[in-house]
Amino acid sequence: MKLKIAILAGDGIGPEVTREAVNILNVVAEAGGHEFTFTESLIGGVAITANGTPLPQSTIDTCLDSDAVLLGAVGDNKFNSLTPDKRPEAGLLQIRQELGGFANLRPCLAFEALSENSPLRPEVTKGVDILFVRELLGGLYFGQPREWNKQTGEAFNTMRYSKSEVERVAHIAFQLAQKRRKKLTQVDKANVLECSQLWRATVDEIKTQYPDVTVEHQLVDSMAIHLMNTPRNFDVVLTENLFGDILSDESGVISGSLGMLPSATIGGKVNLYEPVHGSAPDIAGQGKANPLGAILTAAMVLRHSANLEQEAKAVEAAVTKVLAEGHRTSDIARGNTAANVTTQQMGKLVHNALAESIDRQQSLHAV
Ligand code: NAD
């Protein structure tokens, strides 16, 4: 298969971790005879330095001409004095808008080898595998009217959704649930909010098209508790924008480090893939960054843009193996397991584990 991937490595640790993610994609391409082409473009602080803008038109054009965009991170303290619309982060907001994705996917995976990194007990986190599907372009963050009237001392925002906005993200969530454990939990505040009542009614209407998927509704306040008490009970979790923002961040405690979390935004013109973490200027250029979030993001590229599910699983299995062997960057070092690898070494370990598992598969097929 052919896949054109735009690489926006960005600032800080972005280039370090993205390099390792690209290496992983190359292993999969070589082993499977796939043609992945990578075009590097500028975003964020590096783009401001080179072009005076955090998102040059050439970057937008490259992204729109690609099948997938893999982004590292943006943000550089040296631009902190600029107004928000000129700072590196403005480039990120703008590229998200240009690509138009409305379904933000945030997997929450518990790696058994990292169980002591979570404040939750190992028996609670063991085996957790949740996929948050968060609506990204609507709700309270974008609804009009909105205002902070400093004269009257009043401020307000508007939570607003149309049925079609709910339908399009719900279909994505149902289809993803069909490929997983076939359970969908829709989160809302339907006991208080009309918007949530629309979400609940729309999901109930759509569910007849997906009879193999079990649907449950949860109020967001009790969901915040269930997520910490019984996270294994959840498969796909569908939410509106604000609730998804909060719950997916809350679920980060299960994986144990920001450096382990991947994400994808799909449904628009081109899918955008990015690790959840930022540019981490405090550790940039020191070989301390954990590349696993970026590598797991590469697995999402394989799953959602290349339709290579087995290969995506193989990348995740390679990460699991390397962690089980005790390799740790400093963010995931705990107790008796000290930090013992650099960014590049961790990438290489996953690379080798993946290459070995692919070799094993291929020799099995050859027999
Ligand atoms: P951050 O995610 O960059 O870092 C928070 C903490 O986590 C830091 O201590 C950092 O060292 C650590 N960390 C993050 N990723 C890590 C990794 N892969 N391995 C090891 N440790 C890791 O968030 P921040 O410090 O609030 O923001 C720094 C800059 O990043 C700011 O300019 C911010 O605007 C930007 N930012 C960008 C994105 C993005 O590009 N998607 C997201 C969040 C923040």
Name the residue type at position 139.
G
What proportion of the chain, given as a percentage, has pLDDT over 90? 93
Mean pLDDT of 243-263: 93
* pLDDT of the residue at 363: 75
Mean pLDDT of 147-175: 97
Check pLDDT > 90 for residue 140: yes
Check pLDDT > 80 for residue 255: yes
* pLDDT of the residue at 186: 98
10 Å CB burial of residue 31 (0-12, 13-18, 19+) is middle
CA-to-CA distance for 348 and 36, rounded, in angstroms? Answer: 19
Name the residue type at position 165.
E
Check pLDDT > 90 for residue 57: yes
Give the least confident one: 64-78, 242-256, 298-312.
Answer: 242-256
Tell me, using a 6 A CB cutoff, whether residue 265 lines ligand 1.
no
The whole-chain average pLDDT of the chain stands at 96
Cα 161 to chain centroid, rounded: 23
Tell me, using a 6 A CB cutoff, whether residue 283 lines ligand 1.
yes
10 Å CB burial of residue 59 (0-12, 13-18, 19+) is buried
Q: What is the pLDDT of residues 74-97, one digit of tens each?
A: 999 999 999 988 999 999 999 999
Q: Between residues 366 and 267, which one has the greater pLDDT?
A: 267
- 67 is an active site residue: no
- pLDDT tier at 337, thresholds 50, 70, 90: confident
Contact 101, 92 (CB under 8 A): no
Looking up tokens 């995931």 gives 332
10 Å CB burial of residue 150 (0-12, 13-18, 19+) is exposed
Q: What is the pLDDT of residues 180-232, one digit of tens each?
A: 999 999 999 999 999 999 999 999 999 999 999 999 999 999 999 999 999 99
Name, in order, each residue with C-beta under 8 angstroms of 142's C-beta and a sequence gap of 6 or more: 241
Compute CA distances 71 → 225, 266, 277, whole Å. Answer: 32, 14, 11
Check pLDDT > 80 for residue 336: no
For residue 280, report the distance from its CA to the centre of ligand 1, in Å: 4
For residue 283, report the distance from its CA to the centre of ligand 1, in Å: 9
Mean pLDDT of 148-176: 97
- pLDDT tier at 367, thresholds 50, 70, 90: low
Contact 36, 68 (CB under 8 A): no
Contact 238, 170 (CB under 8 A): yes
Tell me, using a 6 A CB cutoff, whether residue 73 lines ligand 1.
yes
Closest atom, ligand 1, to C-alpha of 73: 40
Q: C-alpha dihedral over 342, 344, 350, 351, to 10 degrees?
A: -160
* pLDDT of the residue at 145: 96
Q: What is the pLDDT of residues 23-54, one digit of tens each?
A: 999 999 999 999 999 999 999 999 999 999 99
Q: Between residues 363 and 176, which one has the greater pLDDT?
A: 176
pTM of the model: 0.95
For residue 284, report the distance from its CA to the centre of ligand 1, in Å: 10
Tell me, using a 6 A CB cutoff, whether residue 274 lines ligand 1.
yes
- 85 is an active site residue: no
Q: C-alpha dihedral over 118, 122, 125, 127, to 10 degrees?
A: 130
Q: What is the pLDDT of residues 221-251, one digit of tens each?
A: 999 999 999 999 999 999 999 999 999 999 9
The alpha-helical segments, DSSP class H, found in the chain are 14-32, 45-51, 57-64, 88-99, 122-125, 163-179, 194-206, 220-229, 241-255, 292-304, 309-324, 343-366
Looking up tokens 């994986």 gives 255
- pLDDT tier at 256, thresholds 50, 70, 90: confident
HSE-up of residue 142 (Cα within 13 Å, Cβ side): 14
* pLDDT of the residue at 335: 75
- pLDDT tier at 338, thresholds 50, 70, 90: confident
